[in-house]
């Protein structure tokens, strides 16, 4: 893993005016249209052309389509191409990069790309909750705000950002909080980083120090298998009896409370840990994260840690899975995995 220093070709000094931003597109609702009855939204190339031609005051915008797919169909190879093109355009003088993406997995793509983004220029991810043909479509406004953020000197040096409904979120903290509202994204534990106010970026908190990046340049196209299993009432994780250890590269548990499982689940988890399968325990609770010391009964976080599990901190189960897969793809040893998740301890 590397620190937060700039990569060759990047600079702490923004390029000279006028601002230039590159728009990369992966599709999503922002580039969809719907039927006359207001339903059945689907990708539409013409919609992409209309939205990407939106005039952003004072910023030169160059668009390039990588794909036009739903976010459930975005793959690591798409994100690897995004990172490659984004680096090239920044090295060629762009102030920043905007990526359009479907909202269903937007937070996951932003988080994963933030593990590899190694330029000071911002990489800003945005999308829409309403198709381009819908009354009150939110895509043009979100795109405008994302471009203004990508061009802002205030956004430099903090990695990948998500811009939605005039709010700027850090990739590591953002989560989709509503499946319907145009104000779909929120950040935990600290709230949004900034607000987009016209051409201005109004910071709401101090710029954070970036978590160390992974050493690879992009996510591998072949990610190790890491399933996520949810714990709950009267659930002893019996499913693990049918998952042979040799078929697992790792495992993420979406635990209850601060990261707990039933006492009866512990022998199953110990079986995996004893043969070297990394087990990361997150919580299914939307905020608060896991603990390392509050409870010490069987199945609690202290019991899990004593068995060799890793706590995910404030990372959601989905983000914990992506981080564990990325680490395993780099053949990271146990101590590196522990250190990577310790950065998100809560």
pLDDT tens digit string along 107-130?
999 999 999 999 999 999 999 988
Please tell me whether residues 169 and 55 are part of one structural domain: yes
Examine residue 12 and state whether it is found in any structural domain, yes or no: no
Question: pLDDT of 68-93, one tens digit each?
Answer: 888 999 999 999 999 999 999 999 99
**Spacing of C-alpha 41 from chain mean position:** 24
Among the three residues 186, 203, 220, which one is the final residue of a domain in this structure?
203
Please tell me whether residues 169 and 279 are part of one structural domain: no
Examine residue 324 and state whether it is found in any structural domain, yes or no: yes
Contact 218, 116 (CB under 8 A): yes
* Whole-number Å distance between alpha carbons of 97 and 61: 10
Examine residue 208 and state whether it is found in any structural domain, yes or no: no
Please tell me whether residues 187 and 123 are part of one structural domain: yes
Please tell me whether residues 238 and 312 are part of one structural domain: yes
Please tell me whether residues 136 and 283 are part of one structural domain: no
Please tell me whether residues 199 and 232 are part of one structural domain: no
Examine residue 29 and state whether it is found in any structural domain, yes or no: yes
- Burial of 334 (C-beta count, 10 Å sphere; 0-12/13-18/19+): exposed
54 has pLDDT over 60: no
pLDDT-based confidence at 341, cuts 50/70/90? very high
16 has pLDDT over 50: no
Q: What does the pLDDT read at residue 12?
A: 39
Examine residue 11 and state whether it is found in any structural domain, yes or no: no
Please tell me whether residues 178 and 286 are part of one structural domain: no
11 has pLDDT over 50: no
88-112: burial string, b at 16+ Cβ within 10 Å, e else: ebbeeebbbbbbbbbbbbbbbbbbb
Q: What one-character DSSP code corresponds to residue 183?
A: S
Q: What does the pLDDT read at residue 19?
A: 78
Please tell me whether residues 117 and 240 are part of one structural domain: no
| Number of CB atoms found within 10 A of residue 137's CB | 21
Contact 292, 255 (CB under 8 A): no
Among the three residues 187, 203, 219, which one is the final residue of a domain in this structure?
203
Query: Pick the residue with more confidence: 249 or 7?
Result: 249
97 has pLDDT over 50: yes
18 has pLDDT over 70: no
Q: Which residues pair with 22 in a beta bridge?
A: 62, 97
Question: pLDDT of 250-273, one tens digit each?
Answer: 999 999 999 999 999 999 999 999
* Whole-number Å distance between alpha carbons of 42 and 119: 34
Please tell me whether residues 49 and 142 are part of one structural domain: yes
- Burial of 331 (C-beta count, 10 Å sphere; 0-12/13-18/19+): exposed
* Whole-number Å distance between alpha carbons of 242 and 81: 36
Examine residue 5 and state whether it is found in any structural domain, yes or no: no
Examine residue 221 and state whether it is found in any structural domain, yes or no: no
Examine residue 223 and state whether it is found in any structural domain, yes or no: no
Expressed in percent and rounded to 5, the helix, strand and coil fractions of the chain are 30, 20, 50
283 has pLDDT over 70: yes
Q: Phi and psi of 52, rounded to 5°?
A: -70, -15
Q: What is the CA radius of gyration of the chain?
A: 21
* Whole-number Å distance between alpha carbons of 301 and 283: 11
Residue 303 belongs to domain with CATH number: 3.40.50.40
Residue 79 belongs to domain with CATH number: 3.40.50.1170
Q: What does the pLDDT read at residue 4?
A: 39
What is the extent of the structural domain holding 261?
228-342
Q: What does the pLDDT read at residue 129?
A: 84
Please tell me whether residues 193 and 338 are part of one structural domain: no
Please tell me whether residues 90 and 151 are part of one structural domain: yes
Total tally of structural domains belonging to the chain: 2
Please tell me whether residues 30 and 79 are part of one structural domain: yes
Question: Strands, DSSP E only, in the chain?
Answer: 19-27, 32-33, 42-43, 59-69, 96-100, 123-126, 160-164, 167-170, 174-176, 185-187, 194-197, 200-203, 228-230, 251-255, 279-283, 310-311
pTM for this model (two decimals): 0.89
Contact 98, 83 (CB under 8 A): no
Q: What does the pLDDT read at residue 36?
A: 61
């Amino acid at each position: 893993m590397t620190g937060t220093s700039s990569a060759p070709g990047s600079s702490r000094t923004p390029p000279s005016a006028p601002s230039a931003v590159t728009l990369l597109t992966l599709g999503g609702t922002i580039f969809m249209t719907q039927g006359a009855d207001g339903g059945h939204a689907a990708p539409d190339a013409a919609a992409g052309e209309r939205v990407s031609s939106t005039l952003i005051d004072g910023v030169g915008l160059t668009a390039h389509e990588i794909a036009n797919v739903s976010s459930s169909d975005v793959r690591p190879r798409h994100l690897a191409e995004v990172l490659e093109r984004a680096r090239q355009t920044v090295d060629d003088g762009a102030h920043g990069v905007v990526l359009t993406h479907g909202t269903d997995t937007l937070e996951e793509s932003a988080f994963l790309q933030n593990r590899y983004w190694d330029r000071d220029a911002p990489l800003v991810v945005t999308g829409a909750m309403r198709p381009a043909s819908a009354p009150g479509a939110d895509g043009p406004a979100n795109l405008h705000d994302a471009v203004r953020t990508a061009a802002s000197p205030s956004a430099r040096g903090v990695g990948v950002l998500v811009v939605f409904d005039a709010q700027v979120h850090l990739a590591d903290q953002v989560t989709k909080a509503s499946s319907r509202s145009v104000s779909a994204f929120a950040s935990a534990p600290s709230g949004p980083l900034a607000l987009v106010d016209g051409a201005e970026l109004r910071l709401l908190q101090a710029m954070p120090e970036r978590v160390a990046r992974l050493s690879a340049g992009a996510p591998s196209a072949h990610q190790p298998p890491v399933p996520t299993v949810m714990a709950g009432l009267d659930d002893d994780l019996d499913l693990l009896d049918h998952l042979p250890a040799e078929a697992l590269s790792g495992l993420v548990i979406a635990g209850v409370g601060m990261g707990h499982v039933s006492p009866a689940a512990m022998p199953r988890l110990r079986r995996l840990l004893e043969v070297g399968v990394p087990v990361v325990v997150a919580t299914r609770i939307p905020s608060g994260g896991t603990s390392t010391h509050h409870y010490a009964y069987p199945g609690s976080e202290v019991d899990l840690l004593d068995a060799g599990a890793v706590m995910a901190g404030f990372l959601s189960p989905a983000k914990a899975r992506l981080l564990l897969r990325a680490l395993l793809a780099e053949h990271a040893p146990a101590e590196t995995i522990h250190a990577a998740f310790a950065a998100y301890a809560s």
